Structure formats: C-alpha cells, structure tokens
Amino acid sequence: MEARLNPFASPIMGKVFKHLIAANKLLAESTLPWATQEFVKLRASQINGCGFCVDMHFKDAVHAGEEATRLNLVAAWREATVFTDAERAALELAEQGTRLADAAGGVTDEAWANAAKHYDEEQLAALVSLIAVINAFNRGNVIARMPAGGYQPGQHA
C-alpha cells in the first residue's frame, strides 16, 4: 500500500499536522495518566481503521513499558479484566466521542458522569481534547491512506 499524499511534504497539511503534534505534546504534559492517553489513542484509531496510528501507539506504548496484554485487549476492554475503572471510563468516553455519527445523542450523560467520577475537570478537558486530536489525526491518515507497519518508536516525538 502506498500513501496517496505525504502529510509532511504538503505545505498546508504539514502545518496542520505540526499543530496537531504540538497539541498532542501539550496533552502529554497534562495530569491525565499516560497509559490512559495511549489506550484512548489506540481505541479511537482502531474504531477509525487508522492502521498507521494503531501501529504507532502500540509500538510507542510497548517501548515505554506498557504491557502488550493490556494493549492487545484495548479492542475488547469491556470483557477484559486488566483495566482500572478509570481506564474503562476513559475508553467508554473515547468510543462514544469517536462514534458520534452512530448515536443521535452523541456522548451519553452516563458516560460523562462515569468519567467525571474518576477524573478532575482539567483531566476531563485533556481527555476531551485528546479524543478530538486523535480523531483528527486518524481522519487525515485514513484519507491520505498512510501505510501501517513501518513506524519506529519515537519517530514523531
């Protein structure tokens, strides 16, 4: 598979992606737990069919010491016993925030209330922003048909 477009070779798309990368770096500095951030990015990327981002977030998380078992079970988090209640709440919010078109009501009050039990206001703001940023990355990469498999950990750090 070959990319339709190289985001970093395009002056306009390159600038947009650089801003998304900057937003992602800011979110990495938030108090939202790092593992939660990686699980959210991985789950949204799975839902959106963004192989490039699935590859990247899996490899970055393994490189940083996250257990492969937990990463492998992100797609089946409801049935898995390896996630905390807080991580489950974040994954539910990520799924609902990613699948907006699938539900007329968007994110449910129940999903929001559950996340609010585990995260403070700034962490919730980081979580909402993270979901928005990863969805933007996913959509750009899927449309450009970025191939998966060749990412090296830290390549876009």
Tokens representing 147 are 């191939």
Q: How many domains does the chain have?
A: 1
Residue 132 confidence (pLDDT) above 90: yes
Q: What is the DSSP letter of 101?
A: G
User: What pTM did the predictor assign?
Assistant: 0.94
Question: Is residue 152 in some structural domain?
Answer: no
Report the candidate in 20, 19, 18 with the shortest Cα–Cα distance to residue 9.
Answer: 18
Please name the helix (run of DSSP H) or strand (run of DSSP E) that holds residue 71, with its range, or none: helix 68-72
The rounded distance, in Å, linking the Cα atoms of 68 and 57 is 12
Residue 7 lies in a domain: no
pLDDT confidence of residue 117: 98
Domain holding 99: CATH number?
Answer: 1.20.1290.10
Which residue in 128, 122, 129 sits closest to 24, CA to CA?
129
Please name the amino acid found at residue 127: L
Q: Does some domain include residue 117? A: yes
Examine residue 4 and state whether it is found in any structural domain, yes or no. no
- Answer for the pair 89, 43: CB distance below 8 angstroms, yes or no: no
Average pLDDT over residues 129-141: 97
Residue 79 counted as domain residue: yes
Which residues, in sequence order, are CB contacts of 19 under 8 Å at separation 6+? none
**At residue 128, does pLDDT exceed 80?**
yes
In a domain, 129, yes or no: yes
Q: How many whole angstroms from its chain centre is CA 68?
A: 17
- Classify residue 26: in a domain, yes or no: no
| Residue 157, pLDDT score | 64
Per-residue pLDDT, 154: 74
